[in-house]
Amino acid sequence: MADDCFAHPRLAAIYDPLDPDRGDLDAYLRLTDELSARRVLDIGCGTGVFALLLAERGVEVVGVDPALASLDVARAKPGSGRVRWIHGDATDLPPLRVDLATMTANVAQAIADPQSWRKTLQGARDALRPGGHLVFETRVPARRAWEEWTRASSDQETEIPGVGSVRSWVELIDVSPPLVTFRWTYAFAADGQVLTSDSTLRFREREEIEQDLKAHGYVVRDVRDAPDRPGREFVFLARRP
């Protein structure tokens, strides 16, 4: 089940304007080049920002996401016809032989259920060609990123064309490591509607993730630092033998 910020049509439509800086994707574009990947599976593609960047570079892309509202936003964007969009998750894929599978923007943490996580790793491996790679990021638990998720630090008002002013903020609901639950609130000035979206993330330790990858037949090639968030993220690079 996708969180409401991705699955609710009104919230999916404002997701990109509320988070316009996607400089975090530059590292994934460089990795795509580094691995000479020409066929990419974008797991948890959301509104399609990364998938469309790849497609613009001539890469063959499959984007999969459980939130239909987010996929509708992606399909409405220029160039969307160059991407194969699939409603579902990594267990709902047709036979593929991609060079690279990605989970950007901490998608891996959003797969909080252990069984779903294991199925995702297996589904991604099945989609890779032999020698293909899985790349994803996850926050370093010791940095306790959730301590920064306060209303005071996040409260913002954004003017969105065709929508009007939207005020948004985040608040912590529960911290029970390795799980952290928080709530985003969105207030629409145009009609006064207030919508909320609750999310739970799992903060996995590096050793746990390495063990999970090895258990599902991957070879862990590297664990890197996120160049735009040094010391705050693990970036895992795993290969299907």
pLDDT in tens, 162-204: 999 999 999 999 999 999 999 999 999 999 999 999 999 999 9
Residue 216 half-sphere exposure toward CB, CA atoms < 13 A: 22
pLDDT in tens, 39-53: 999 999 999 999 999
Residue 22 half-sphere exposure toward CB, CA atoms < 13 A: 20
pLDDT over threshold 80, residue 1: no
DSSP state of 129: E
Q: What is the pTM of this model?
A: 0.96
- φ/ψ (deg, to 5) at 198: -95, 140
Token pair in block for residue 118: 């294991």
Per-residue pLDDT band for 118 (boundaries 50, 70, 90) equals very high
